[in-house]
Amino acid sequence: MDYKIIDMDNYYRKDIFRHFSQDCKCSFAVTARVDVTDLKAFSKRTDTSFYLNFLYVLSRTLNSREDYRFYWDYPTHQMRLYDKINPTQYVFHDDTQTITVVYSEYFADYKTFYSAAKADLEKAKATRDYGLDEANHPNWFDASSLPWLSFDSMTVELHDGYLYFNPIVNWGKFREENGRLMMPVAIRLNHASADGFLAANFYRTLEKEIADLCGQ
């Protein structure tokens, strides 16, 4: 968990940070439909999991820019920039209709990530414990799939004064639209560390990462 402390006096968004962490404390969420037609075809062609493939491109996207890798440390009142952030994924247990938290490590190499994340899921299927351990996982972002619903909008509520910078991403069931498979993807960001440009950049980068993986 390597990180550096941000010098807030020289932080490129310091005035924006001050405003949205003191005057107008808020977060925001955006939902957009992402074309996953090629990713679905890639998964079928390679006999791999669509879910894990999407988790990989999502992890690459959120590691592509420093702004998505910030963490506010309340005890020291310092903003950390982690070298990388990792996905917190979930296992849904059909018998109990509950979930288990799965902490997976991000690896830039596709095969390494895929193998490790798959093993993490298989291990979590053997337990019914919730398994939440936020204290020991500060540089993890929330990655949650809702495969039962193709939603149009989603908002994750956190009290606005709380400086929680870790991205929260949810995606739903894809559906066919004009011959393409479109999947709703929602991201929640804190306005002190992110804005509309960074939200839009998230989707643009996600589309690029999908294209790059499918072009292998």
What's the pLDDT tens digit per position in 159-192? Answer: 767 899 999 999 999 999 999 999 999 999 999 9
State the pLDDT at residue 171.
Answer: 98
Q: Could you please report the per-residue DSSP string of 174-211?
A: -EEETTEEEEEEEEEEETTT--HHHHHHHHHHHHHHHH
Q: Which domain holds residue 99?
A: 3-214
State the pLDDT at residue 159.
Answer: 79
Mean pLDDT (the chain) is: 96
* Number of domains observed in the structure of the chain: 1
Q: What's the gap between Cα 176 and its chain centre?
A: 24
134: left (phi over 0), alpha (psi -120 to 50) or beta: alpha
State the pLDDT at residue 123.
Answer: 97
pTM over 0.95: yes
CATH number at residue 203: 3.30.559.10
Dihedral Cα 185, 212, 201, 145, nearest 10 deg? 20
What is the CA angle 196-162-103, rounded to 5? Answer: 85
The DSSP H or E segment spanning 55 is: helix 50-62
State the pLDDT at residue 161.
Answer: 77
Task: Give the pair of three-digit tokens for residue 124.
Answer: 């979590």
State the pLDDT at residue 38.
Answer: 98
Average pLDDT (85-106) is: 98
What is the CA angle 195-200-206, rounded to 5? Answer: 130
pLDDT band per the 50, 70, 90 thresholds, residue 157:
confident
DSSP-assigned beta bridge partners for residue 93: 98
Average pLDDT (210-214) is: 98
State the pLDDT at residue 216.
Answer: 61
